[in-house]
Structure 1
Amino acid sequence: MQARDVMTTNVVIVQASTPIADIARILRTLAISGVPVFEGDTLVGIVKEVDLIARHARPHYPRYLPLLDAQIPLGGQREYQEMVRRILGTTARDIMSTPVKTCHPDTDLEEVATLMVEKNANPIPVMEHGRLVGIISHTDLMRAFDELETPSAESAA
């Protein structure tokens, strides 16, 4: 099976300027795990449930090494700045995940599953010729794999 066989084609999208409250409402109301973020016709990111949840997580503060009259950051400075940006963000642009992991309609489902697991990507936009043609979530893959593993009534007879 390929991505085209399981993807949802009626994809809800948001613009980069969409307020976070609107995105949360969309995810909750439609029971979806994420929405692609566009600037005009260009896919620029994706907002996932975890991006919204992360805004409420306990922050991890960077540590500093005092040396003479200076404070030297001990790693994590970039991660800290990213976390602050997400916590204070008010629009999709502020909290979206980038770069977006995408696939093509002809991508095998095993490859889609690998992308989801290895890159923690869910959902995955399906792109063809630079256009969004669908989206695949964990639920879509679970349904497809269940159908593949469950013998049909015809083959059981």
Structure 2
Amino acid sequence: MALTVRDIMETNVPSVYPDDPIEQVVHTLRDHELPGVPVVNEGGRCVGIITESDLVMVGETEDLHLPHYIELFGGIVFLESTKKFEERLRKAIGAKAADVMTEDPITIEPDATVAEAGRVIARHKHNRLPVVEHGRLIGVVTRIDVLDALTAE
């Protein structure tokens, strides 16, 4: 019988709430030596995830600058999407978990096979997936958990 996500997932998973301050998120990541943490609401539903990359602005667009624009007939026409700027600005000034989290994260059900979990992790290039049952967080499965299970089979 094929192993399921339930067989290999970690069930004692720290999480944070959307209204938790960023400092609390960082402490949770550091105290548990985690690269990411699920965000749950009061009912235990997984509403987001925060990873280290959500907390650090890196890359070629490290500086927060306005998108290029031109003035035309007394108005401003942006030459590129403002969506990335708005997202970076939100994260740069974010004070709460909700400000920096990735909403509606990719999740997996506990009855999915380990092979399915591997495909989801590979397809989305994630290191960890929240495991949800009826929308509620019940665990996390990591890339290493999946690799260990697949090599043991």
Q: Please give the range of the TM-score, normalised by the shorter of the 2 chains.
A: 0.7 to 0.9
- In the alignment, structure 1 residue 145 sits paired with structure 2 residue 150: yes
- Tell me the distance in 1 between the aligned counterparts of 2:128 and 2:117: 10
Q: Which moved more, 1:81-90 or 1:65-74?
A: 65-74
**Residue aligning to 1:24:** 26
How far has the Cα of 1:115 moved from its partner?
1.9
Runs (5+) with no aligned partner, structure 1: 149-157
* 1:58-69 paired onto structure 2 within 5 Å: 58-59=62-63, 61=65, 62-69=67-74
Work out which of the residue numbers 25, 50, 56 in structure 1 matches 2:53: 50
Q: Please list, as runs of the form range in 1=range in 2, the aligned pairs for 1:101-112 lying within 5 A after superposition.
A: 101-112=106-117
Q: Which residue of 2 aligns with 1:15?
A: 17
Higher helix share: 1
SS in 1 for 2:109: coil
Larger radius of gyration: 1
User: Mean Cα displacement is larger for which, 61-70 or 18-27?
Assistant: 61-70
Q: Which residue of 1 aligns with 2:140?
A: 135
Q: 2:90 matched to which residue of 1?
A: 85
Note the aligned Cα RMSD (angstroms). 2.1
CA shift digits 1:32-87 (9 cap, x unpaired) = 22111122113211111211123797136311133233221122201110110001
Q: Tell me, in whole angstroms, the C-alpha distance in 2 between the residues paired with 1:22 and 1:2.
A: 32
Query: Which ranges of structure 2 fall in alignment gaps of 5 or more residues?
Result: none
Q: Provide the TM-score with structure 1 as the length reference.
A: 0.82
Secondary structure, aligned partner of 2:48:
strand
Q: TM-score, normalised by structure 2?
A: 0.84
Runs of 4+ in 1 over 6 A off after TM superposition: none
